[in-house]
Amino acid sequence: MGLTPHFEAVTRRLAGVGFIALAPDHASRFGGTPAEVGPALETVGMETRSGTIADTEVALLWLKSDGRSSGKIGTIGVGLGATAIDDVVTKGTALNSAVIFYGHLPVPVEVGAKRHSCSTSPAETSL
Spatial distance between the Cα atoms of 114 and 13, rounded to a whole number of angstroms: 32
pLDDT of residue 126: 47
Q: List pLDDT tens digits, range 55-113.
A: 888 888 888 888 888 888 888 888 878 888 888 887 777 777 778 887 776 655 555 55
Q: Is the pLDDT of residue 51 over 80?
A: yes
Residues constituting the chain: 127
pTM, to two decimals:
0.69
* Residue extents of the structural domains in the chain: 5-113
The type of residue at 16 is G
Q: How far is CA 112 from CA 16, 86, 90, 95, in A?
A: 37, 13, 9, 17
Q: List pLDDT tens digits, range 12-45.
A: 998 888 888 888 888 888 888 888 888 888 888 8
Would you call 110 helix, strand, or coil by DSSP? helix
Confidence at 121, pLDDT banded by 50, 70, 90: low
